[in-house]
């Protein structure tokens, strides 16, 4: 992995929201929404020397310029979004470690991650967001905030799970938020909206108007009903 420092933001003790593309594109939808809504600025970039996928443009292929950005505003750092995740464990671990190093550099108070939660439950356009944390004590602190914890034991793979493990190892508090979805292959805007509202509840801050995501959700639902 190549890491490029674009500038040195003057921030201390921010919270970090870090997520990459996953099931239903939930991670990318939420990260892109926050960056657009809060007009965050790039300060660091991670690039992979090897492509994680190619794009068939109908008879010929193209290699995407893959990179993941660190952005900031006031007391918030946002990492990730984009398309895809590193396909090798070494690169994935490098990315997680760099997020942790960045958290330590700016004395980050908290790391939040997020993604999709594949379920067979029919939720009628009102998906729940389940949370899990880096400690039993932190989970107990969540009681009374009207949030639901993950309903059963499971293995969380990819960046949106591993970053919580790296946070725990490095004694940084972290919370994972995973929105219900039935169809992982389709962009899940309602799951993203559910997660955004959960982030707002846990951080006591507004992230922006989600009405455009509602429109996108309606468009996806109309398209696949037809």
Helix or strand run (H / E) with residue 56: strand 55-56
pLDDT in tens, 103-160: 999 999 899 999 998 887 888 888 999 999 999 999 998 887 888 898 878 778 889 9
Between CA 97 and CA 103 the distance in angstroms is 10
pLDDT in tens, 155-205: 788 899 999 999 999 999 999 999 999 888 899 999 999 999 999 999 999
Domain spans in the chain, listed from the N-terminal domain onward: 2-225
pLDDT of residue 9: 94
- Closest of 16, 46, 53, 11 to residue 31, by C-alpha: 16
Please name the residue that has the structure tokens 């946002």. 78
Name the more confident of 82 and 40.
Answer: 40
Using 50, 70 and 90 to split pLDDT, how confident is the model at 20? Answer: very high
Whether residue 121 contacts residue 180, with contact meaning beta carbons closer than 8 Å, is answered with: yes
Using 50, 70 and 90 to split pLDDT, how confident is the model at 39? Answer: very high
How many residues does this entry show for the chain?
Answer: 226
pLDDT of residue 226: 57
Average pLDDT over residues 50-60: 84
Average per-residue pLDDT for the chain: 91
Average pLDDT over residues 6-20: 94
> Does domain 2-225 bear CATH number 3.40.640.10?
no
Helix or strand run (H / E) with residue 81: strand 76-81
Average pLDDT over residues 210-217: 94
Q: Is 213 helix (H, G, I), strand (E, B) or coil?
A: helix
* Percent residues over pLDDT 70 in the chain: 99
Task: Give helix then strand counts, H and E, for the chain.
Answer: 6, 11
Listed range (52-56, 71-75, 76-80, 175-179) with the worst mean pLDDT: 52-56
Between CA 78 and CA 170 the distance in angstroms is 19
Name the more confident of 54 and 172.
Answer: 172
């Amino acid at each position: 992995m190549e890491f490029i420092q674009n500038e040195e933001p003057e921030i201390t003790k921010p919270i970090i929201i870090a997520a990459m593309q996953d099931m239903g594109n939930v991670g990318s939808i939420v990260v892109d929404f926050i960056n657009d809504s809060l007009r965050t600025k790039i300060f660091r970039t991670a690039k992979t020397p090897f492509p994680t996928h190619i794009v068939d443009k109908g008879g010929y292929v193209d290699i995407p310029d893959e990179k993941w950005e660190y952005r900031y505003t006031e007391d918030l750092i946002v990492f990730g979004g984009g398309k895809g995740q590193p396909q090798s464990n070494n690169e994935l671990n490098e990315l997680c470690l760099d997020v942790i190093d960045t958290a330590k550099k700016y004395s980050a108070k908290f790391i939040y991650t997020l993604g999709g939660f594949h379920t067979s439950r029919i939720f009628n356009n009102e998906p729940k967001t389940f949370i899990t944390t880096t400690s039993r004590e932190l989970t107990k602190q969540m009681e009374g905030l009207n949030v639901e914890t993950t309903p059963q034991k499971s293995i969380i793979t990819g960046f949106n799970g591993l970053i919580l493990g790296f946070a725990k190892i490095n004694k940084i508090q972290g919370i994972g938020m995973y929105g219900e979805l039935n169809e992982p292959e389709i962009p899940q805007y309602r799951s993203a909206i559910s997660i955004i509202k959960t982030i707002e509840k846990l951080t006591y801050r507004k992230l922006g108007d989600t009405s455009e995501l509602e429109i996108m959700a309606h468009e996806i639902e109309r398209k696949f009903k037809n």
